[in-house]
Structure 1
Amino acid sequence: MHIAFFINDLEREHAGYTTTVLAHQAQLRGHRVSYLTPHDFILRADDSLCAHTRSLPKKKYKDSEDFFATLKSDKCKVEPVDMATIDVLMLRNDPSIDAETPWAMEAGILFGREAAKRGVIVLNDPDSLGRAINKLYFQSFPTEARAETLISRHATDIKAFAKQHGGNIILKPLQGSGGSGVFKVDAEAKSNLNQIIEAIGRDGYIIAQSYVPAAKKGDIRLFLMNGRPLEIDGKYAALRRVASPDDIRSNIHAGGTAEAVEIGKTELAVAEMIRPKLVADGMFLVGVDIVGDKILEVNVFSPGNLGSCSRLAGVDFSVPIIEAIERKVSIAAQYARRFDNRHLAIL
């Protein structure tokens, strides 16, 4: 199997990132692994789709650090490759990172669609990712599963929403990730509400969410694969993210810490409630952030912390993920690609 990982750029990758973990596991299982970025696609005059890919040498790597060091070295072969020869394209970029270069934000989606037309299995499904490129996708899940939300650029709307919820709300940009631009409004921050609205509103629409008190204990990142919680022998790919004392954001990149967590009936019920939508949209691998019985985020582009989940649980969750991808390639071959990409993505 030849699997290509689409990322924002190599400079912002890291040896501990989920993409590296998955790519390394694929290589360990004997597969050819390549990386590509928004700069790399070529649609030729004969309508063939190619890409300048960075392919890792087939050899035994000591660990993911060695694998990643080789990826960034001149030992990698960079050459144009016909996308039709690639079995799987895994879209692992974060579009919000490329907000200042709009052409790059949707490159993976646009060329992912073209790759799917040429028989490449694209994960997650690019058509559905196109609808999920901002947090408005979150509103398509059942109201019972998500915190009450208002989306507006008008200060009067947001202030009315805050009053309705006793002054305790969360404000964040419609587009963004990693906890960037997230503010908690309460009695102490009330006097700064105008400035917060103005600061977030400069970049577009504002999301106002009711504050869920259980958030004081942090949120739970839970991985879902093929619509169901990812697990190995009863151990779930999950962790609790706890914010630092001086920050409301529990994102690891924003200073939060990771702790082991038990997944119980509440979290499984939330996962089951959102499963039909994820399956219908061909969302193969998703990271869901849960507080109490509510989802706060659904990361369908580049869910992270898989390595931390594996370390805390004492199992390697990258194995069943690559096994599931191998199974999709096998199904596609057995059925002569009679399934469309959206269905194949979650089989």
Structure 2
Amino acid sequence: MKLAFVVNRIETEQADYTTIRLARKAAARGHELAFFGLADFIYESSGRICAMASVPEPGDYADDAAYLDHLQNDAPEKRIVVEDYDIVMLRSDPADELTTRPWAPPSSLLFAQLAAAHGTIVLNDPSHLTDAQNKTYFQHFPEEVRPATCITRHADEVSAFLEEHDGKGVLKPLQGSGGQGVFIVDKKNRQNLNQIIESITRDGYAIVQEYLPAAAEGDLRVITLNGRPLQVDGTFASLRRSSTTEDHRSNLSAGGKADLEQPDEAAMRAAEMCAPKLIDDGMYLAGLDIVGDRMIEVNVDSPGALSYMEDLSGVDFSGAIIDDLERKVRLKKNYSGTLSNRHLAVV
């Protein structure tokens, strides 16, 4: 199998990223891999989609750090034909480009759409990822599993929403990730509300959500594959993320801690309610952030935490994902191009 990963920049990848874990497991099986950044696509005059990519050697690397070191320092750079690859996995975070390269994420999705149209399996489906570039995508899921939400740039609207919800809520930017710019507003810091709103809306819209009391215990990150919770040998790819600081952010990149925890009935029901939308949109790999029986966020660009889940559980979740990718390549060949990219993404 020929497998390519599209990331923000190769030089900013880190050893604990899900992308690196998936790539290392694929390399150990002898698959041919390539990595390239959002700015590395090439559209030839002939219509082919190419890229300047780093092409690491296949092999059984000691750990993720060793593989990353090879990728960043020793892997040769080559001009590749993207359409020659069986699968392209889109693993970039648009929020990282918000202030420096806002053009990069939407441009890369247009190239990815062309690659899919030319026969490469692109995951997640790039046509629907275009619709999911910010958190408004979240509002398309059933109201039953979403906290009450207002999206606005007007301070008086935020204040009115908070008054409707006992003066407490969560404010965050419409475009963002990793817990960046997330504030919990209550009576203790209400006097800072205007400054918080100004900080968030400097680069766009703000989201204000009702505060869920269960959030005090953190949130549950559940990885879904083909629209449903990923499960291997009876263990779900799921962990609880909780805050280790007073700012209450549970994201691992914001200093949160992770503990292996299996989803309870309420979390499984929330995941079940989300499945039809994920499947219909071709969202192959996603991360659901669940508090109690509500989903507070859905991550479809570059869902992470898989390496933490594997290290805590000893379960080879990434190996199961590689198994599934190999299966998709076989299905595509068996159906001789009659299945759409969206169908292949979640079949």
TM-score (norm 1): 0.98
**Are the counterparts in 2 of residues 96 and 105 from structure 1 also a CA contact under 8 Å?**
no
For 1:248, what is the secondary structure of its paired residue?
coil
Equivalent residue, structure 1, for 2:87: 88
Shift of 1:148: 0.6
For 1:90, what is the secondary structure of its paired residue?
strand
**Are the counterparts in 2 of residues 90 and 122 from structure 1 also a CA contact under 8 Å?**
yes
Provide the rounded CA distance (Å) in 2 between the counterparts of 1:301 and 1:256: 21
Shift of 1:264: 1.6
Asked if 1:281 corresponds to 2:307, the answer is no
**Are the counterparts in 1 of residues 168 and 186 from structure 2 also a CA contact under 8 Å?**
yes
Percent identity of equivalent pairs:
46
Provide the rounded CA distance (Å) in 1 between the counterparts of 2:253 and 2:259: 15
Provide the rounded CA distance (Å) in 1 between the counterparts of 2:42 and 2:20: 25
Provide the rounded CA distance (Å) in 2 between the counterparts of 1:284 and 1:105: 19
Asked if 1:201 corresponds to 2:201, the answer is yes
Shift of 1:147: 0.7
Shift of 1:195: 1.2
Output one character per residue of 1:248-304: Cα deviation in whole Å (capped at 9) or x when no partner.
110011110001212221111000001000000000000010000000110000111
Provide the rounded CA distance (Å) in 2 between the counterparts of 1:320 and 1:160: 47
Equivalent residue, structure 1, for 2:131: 131
For 1:51, what is the secondary structure of its paired residue?
strand
Bigger drift between 162-171 and 41-50 goes to 41-50
**Are the counterparts in 2 of residues 221 and 288 from structure 1 also a CA contact under 8 Å?**
yes
Q: Which amino acid in 2 is paired with 1:97?
A: D
**Are the counterparts in 1 of residues 41 and 108 from structure 2 also a CA contact under 8 Å?**
no
Q: Which amino acid in 1 is paired with 2:45?
A: A
Q: Which amino acid in 2 is paired with 1:236?
A: F
Q: Which amino acid in 2 is paired with 1:106?
A: P
Provide the rounded CA distance (Å) in 2 between the counterparts of 1:289 and 1:238: 10
Q: Which amino acid in 2 is paired with 1:107?
A: S
Asked if 1:242 corresponds to 2:242, the answer is yes
Matches within 5 A, 1:62-77: 62-73=62-73, 75-77=74-76
Q: Which amino acid in 2 is paired with 1:235?
A: T
Matches within 5 A, 1:326-345: 326-345=326-345
Output one character per residue of 1:173-230: Cα deviation in whole Å (capped at 9) or x when no partner.
1111111110001010111111111111111111000000000000000000001100
* Count of residue correspondences: 346
Output one character per residue of 1:50-98: Cα deviation in whole Å (capped at 9) or x when no partner.
111111113332222221111011x312111112211100000001111
Provide the rounded CA distance (Å) in 1 between the counterparts of 2:205 and 2:223: 28
For 1:20, what is the secondary structure of its paired residue?
helix
Shift of 1:125: 0.2
**Are the counterparts in 1 of residues 39 and 108 from structure 2 also a CA contact under 8 Å?**
no
For 1:223, what is the secondary structure of its paired residue?
strand
Matches within 5 A, 1:174-193: 174-193=174-193
For 1:102, what is the secondary structure of its paired residue?
coil
Provide the rounded CA distance (Å) in 1 between the counterparts of 2:61 and 2:313: 24
Matches within 5 A, 1:1-347: 1-73=1-73, 75-100=74-99, 101-347=101-347
**Are the counterparts in 2 of residues 55 and 76 from structure 1 also a CA contact under 8 Å?**
yes
For 2:172, what is the secondary structure of its paired residue?
strand
Provide the rounded CA distance (Å) in 2 between the counterparts of 1:321 and 1:141: 25
For 1:298, what is the secondary structure of its paired residue?
strand
RMSD of aligned C-alpha atoms? 1.0
Unaligned runs of 5+ in 1: none
Shift of 1:105: 2.1
Shift of 1:117: 1.1
Provide the rounded CA distance (Å) in 2 between the counterparts of 1:291 and 1:231: 20
Q: Which amino acid in 1 is paired with 2:324?
A: A
Output one character per residue of 1:146-185: Cα deviation in whole Å (capped at 9) or x when no partner.
1110001111111100000011100011111111110001
Provide the rounded CA distance (Å) in 1 between the counterparts of 2:335 and 2:206: 45
Q: Which amino acid in 1 is paired with 2:273?
A: M
Provide the rounded CA distance (Å) in 1 between the counterparts of 2:60 and 2:146: 45
Q: Which amino acid in 2 is paired with 1:248?
A: H
Provide the rounded CA distance (Å) in 2 between the counterparts of 1:83 and 1:245: 43
Provide the rounded CA distance (Å) in 2 between the counterparts of 1:49 and 1:260: 41
Provide the rounded CA distance (Å) in 2 between the counterparts of 1:68 and 1:181: 29
For 1:245, what is the secondary structure of its paired residue?
coil
Provide the rounded CA distance (Å) in 1 between the counterparts of 2:18 and 2:266: 26
**Are the counterparts in 1 of residues 245 and 255 from structure 2 also a CA contact under 8 Å?**
no
**Are the counterparts in 2 of residues 152 and 207 from structure 1 also a CA contact under 8 Å?**
yes
Provide the rounded CA distance (Å) in 2 between the counterparts of 1:118 and 1:222: 32
TM-score (norm 2): 0.98
**Are the counterparts in 2 of residues 287 and 300 from structure 1 also a CA contact under 8 Å?**
yes
Output one character per residue of 1:98-134: Cα deviation in whole Å (capped at 9) or x when no partner.
1121221223311110110111100000011000000
Provide the rounded CA distance (Å) in 2 between the counterparts of 1:175 and 1:302: 14
Provide the rounded CA distance (Å) in 2 between the counterparts of 1:274 and 1:66: 37
